[in-house]
Amino acid sequence: MTGWLAIAGLGPGAEALVTPEVTAALAEATDVIGYIPYVARVAPRDGLTLHPTDNRVEIDRARHALDLATAGRRVVVVSSGDPGVFAMAAAVFEAIEHGLPAWRALDVRVLPGITAMLAAAARAGAPLGHDFCAINLSDNLKPQAVIERRLQLAAEADFAIACYNPRSKARPDGLAAALAILRETCADDRPVLFARAVTTREERLTVVPLPEARADMADMRTIVIIGSSRTRLIPGTRFLYTPRSLP
Ligand code: SAH
From 36, 219, 222, 224, the mutation candidate for ligand 1 (largest count of ligand atoms within 8 A of CB) is 222
- Confidence band, pLDDT 50/70/90 cuts, at residue 91: very high
Residue 124 burial (CB count, 10 A): 24
**138 ligand 1 Cβ < 6 A:** no
Tell me which of 48-52, 54-58, 130-134, 174-178 is least confident: 54-58
For residue 22, the Cα-to-chain-centroid distance in whole angstroms is 17
Task: Answer yes or no: is pLDDT of 201 > 70.
Answer: yes
SS3 category, 136: strand
**151 ligand 1 Cβ < 6 A:** no
Q: Model-level pTM?
A: 0.96
User: pLDDT tens digits for 3-27?
Assistant: 999 999 999 999 999 999 999 999 9
- Whether 228 contacts 158, CB under 8 Å: yes
Query: Which CA distances in Å does 127 have to 132, 207, 209, 230, 239?
Result: 9, 11, 14, 9, 9
- Confidence band, pLDDT 50/70/90 cuts, at residue 168: confident
DSSP percent split of the chain into helix, strand, coil, nearest 5: 35, 25, 40
User: pLDDT tens digits for 117-165?
Assistant: 999 999 999 999 999 999 999 988 889 999 999 999 999 999 999 999 9
Mean pLDDT over all residues of the chain? 96
